Amino acid sequence: MKQISLRYIFLFTILFLVGIAVVFIAVRETPAPPVPVRSGDVVRLNTYLIDVAGWYEITPNESAVATPLDLTIDGLKMPDKLGRWTSTPYPLGSEVDQWFENPDLALSSIYRDDRDHQLWFSVFGSRSRKSYFLFEHTPITSYPAAGWTVIENGVVPISIGDQSIRVQKTTLSKDKERRLAFYWYLWSDFNRDPEQGVMTMRLHIPVITTDQDAFDAGVDFLRALFPQVVVWRRF
């Protein structure tokens, strides 16, 4: 009788622990994508996830953003006008296919604003295994290979409305040139499944007067690209 009682206690304990594990896993599931707040019923906003690192890594800097643009691998087209910025297509070299293993998406444009600022915006996207290469080749690896010196690199906050996002920011120099680069990663799938695709987005901003002026120009572009940060938490 004592052996039977011990067995039941053991079985009950196992079932209890399994139940706790199931509840824990359920709690950890990715919440539904957030619904952005519309300023009107005319413009439809799409929500995406951005982060400063990726593939299978999720950092505390992950944010949900809203934009009227289609930022999917199959739907993205560089807008001719974005806020005060106007674009001119910029052709990419063949080395892009080598760096990113023939990405599913590769676009770039030069943007100029009405205050004589200029920046280069590039987007690369891939699905499945080759999306890994998007994280392997970044401005802090590609610029030094072209003779540039990385002066500083780190994560910086960008305020958008009463919220903020975070991006990687790199300061670079070569001879008498100086440049800032912002870069981050974007997912349309809130589970961040590589099979569904991921993008790396990069802003390259030449310093014409001061670093702060170039930084402010990059911030202005980001606010036009992501006019809204949506309150959302993964856990």
**pLDDT tens across 126-145, in order?**
888 888 777 778 899 989 98
Question: Which residue from 234, 231, 130, 232 is spatially nearest to 192, judged by alpha carbons?
Answer: 234
- Residue type present at position 156: V
**Residue 13 pLDDT exceeds 60:** no
pLDDT value of residue 102:
77
pLDDT value of residue 166:
97
Contact between 186 and 71 under an 8 Å Cβ cutoff? The reply is yes
Lowest mean pLDDT among 9-18, 102-111, 153-162: 9-18
Higher-confidence position of 231 and 96: 231
pLDDT value of residue 94:
72
At 112, list the tokens.
């100029």
32 pLDDT band (50/70/90 cuts)?
low
- Residue type present at position 221: F
At 40, list the tokens.
């009107």
Residue 228 parent element (H or E): strand 228-230
Q: What is the mean pLDDT of residues 12-31?
A: 38
Higher-confidence position of 4 and 105: 105
**pLDDT tens across 34-74, in order?**
666 555 554 678 999 999 987 778 899 999 999 999 999 99
- Residue type present at position 116: D
Q: Cα–Cα distance between 152 and 174 in angstroms, integer?
A: 14
3-state helix, strand, coil in the chain (%, to 5): 30, 35, 35
Contact between 10 and 16 under an 8 Å Cβ cutoff? The reply is no
Q: Cα–Cα distance between 171 and 155 in angstroms, integer?
A: 12
**pLDDT tens across 173-203, in order?**
999 999 999 999 999 999 998 888 998 999 9
Lowest mean pLDDT among 5-14, 54-63, 67-76, 150-159: 5-14
| Per-domain boundaries in the chain | 46-230
Query: DSSP 3-state assignment of 61?
Result: coil
Global confidence as pTM:
0.81
pLDDT value of residue 5:
47
